[in-house]
Amino acid sequence: MSSTTAPSVFVPAEGDLYLGGVIRSEWIKFRSVRSTWWAYAVLLTLTVGIGAQVSSSLSFEGMPDVPTQDAIQDMAVYAVTVTTDFGALIVGALGVVVIAGEYGTGTIRSTITAVPTRLPILFAKALVFAVATFVVSAVAFAVTVPLSVSLLARNDVAVRLDDPQYWLALLGGVGYLVLVGLIAFSVGGLMRTTAGGMSVTFVLLLVAPIATSFLPTGAENVAVLLPSIAGDVLLSYPTEQSWVDLAAPTASSDWITEPWQGGLTLVAWVAVLFTAAAVLLEQRDA
């Protein structure tokens, strides 16, 4: 294409739309609004602050039985992840805002004009949000662990840090936050309004577990399929003797008991909702 063939027609410069660029774009957008920083600051502060507070007040003092190491590790995991259910709400709210906020402000129109193939937007957004959430919650736990361990030690609770299950449970907590965030993100993409997305997310995380407790026995087992319950399973310490009641057997009637099962349940939620959000993003007018 030389300029002599068609001097009157403007030839644009080269340069492609590419996935890396879309991810970079989403990262710029993600970090350039205050809501992101607020949400993560609250998550970090609460995790560390309340984790430390709870660690300083937990002990086996006054309990009739002798705690096994299992029960101690179980308590130690609880102390660090005590705020995770609340953290899930913060991360969920942010997940909704990240995508639904674009519709509310109209930014989605410049985004889709720049990336008319659309799906990369959803992937890039989800990736940026998931990685950031992973990093922040991992940092939050990493800061809480030494505090928690030393505070528990003062109460004669000797946590063993060479126990892989302890770290796996904390990793489960990180995974729970990331996956709940992605569930909320997908809901936000489906609802396309911040208010609507938040309502649905909070109903799913807060109201649904309560509602299922009113179901007849047997049917209430479906509650373990809810994200917040599956999340609690995911970050639980697999134990023979729980610190909550040293005398009671830990066997439960629930059919999803292993952390990985809880994790899979959450992944299934993400897969279904994210796919739905992707399909609708493709089909709907922006």
Partner 1 sequence: MIEAQSLTKRYGAKTAVDSIDFTVRPGRVTGFLGPNGAGKSTTMRMIVGLDRPSGGVVRVNGKAYVRHHAPLRQVGALLDAKAVHPGRSARHHLLAVAATHRIGAKRVDEVIGLTGLEPVAGRRVGGFSLGMGQRLGLAVALLGDPATLILDEPVNGLDPDGVVWLRGLVRRLAVEGRTVFLSSHLMSEMAQTADHVIILGRGRVVADAPMSEIVAGAEGDSVQVRSPQAEHLTPLLEAEGATVSRAEADLISVTGLAAARIAEVAAGARVVVHELTPLTRSLEDAYMALTRDEVEYRTMQTSPEVDR
Could you give the C-alpha distances from 117 to 114, 125, 278, in angstroms and in order?
A: 9, 14, 11
Binding residues vs partner 1 (CB under 8 A): 6-18, 21-22, 24-26, 28-29, 32-35, 101-102, 105-107, 109-117, 283, 285-286
Q: Minimum distance between the CB of residue 46 and partner 1, rounded to whole angstroms?
A: 23
Q: Which CB sits closer to partner 1, 26 or 70?
A: 26
Q: Minimum distance between the CB of residue 28 and partner 1, rounded to whole angstroms?
A: 4
Q: Which CB sits closer to partner 1, 106 or 146?
A: 106
Q: Which CB sits closer to partner 1, 6 or 207?
A: 6
Scan for tokens 């739309």, then name that residue. 17
Q: Which CB sits closer to partner 1, 111 or 137?
A: 111
Q: Please give the helix or strand (H or E) that residue 77 lies within, else none.
A: helix 69-81
CA distance linking residue 212 with residue 230, whole number of Å: 14
Q: Minimum distance between the CB of residue 94 and partner 1, rounded to whole angstroms?
A: 14
Q: Which CB sits closer to partner 1, 6 or 219?
A: 6
Could you give the C-alpha distances from 232 to 20, 45, 52, 154, in angstroms and in order?
A: 35, 21, 20, 27
CA distance linking residue 9 with residue 218, whole number of Å: 72
Q: Taking a C-beta distance cutoff of 8 angstroms, is the pair 51, 23 a contact?
A: no
The residue type of 70 is D
Q: Minimum distance between the CB of residue 5 and partner 1, rounded to whole angstroms?
A: 12
Q: Which CB sits closer to partner 1, 13 or 248?
A: 13
Three-class SS of 177-234: HHHHHHHHHHHHHHHCCHHHHHHHHHHHHHHHHHHHCCCCCCHHHHHHHCHHHHHHHH
Q: Minimum distance between the CB of residue 99 and partner 1, rounded to whole angstroms?
A: 12
Q: Minimum distance between the CB of residue 111 and partner 1, rounded to whole angstroms?
A: 8
Q: Which CB sits closer to partner 1, 124 or 178?
A: 124
CA distance linking residue 228 with residue 201, whole number of Å: 11
Q: Give residues with Cβ within 8 angstroms of 177, minimum separation 6.
A: 43, 84, 87, 88, 91, 133, 134, 137
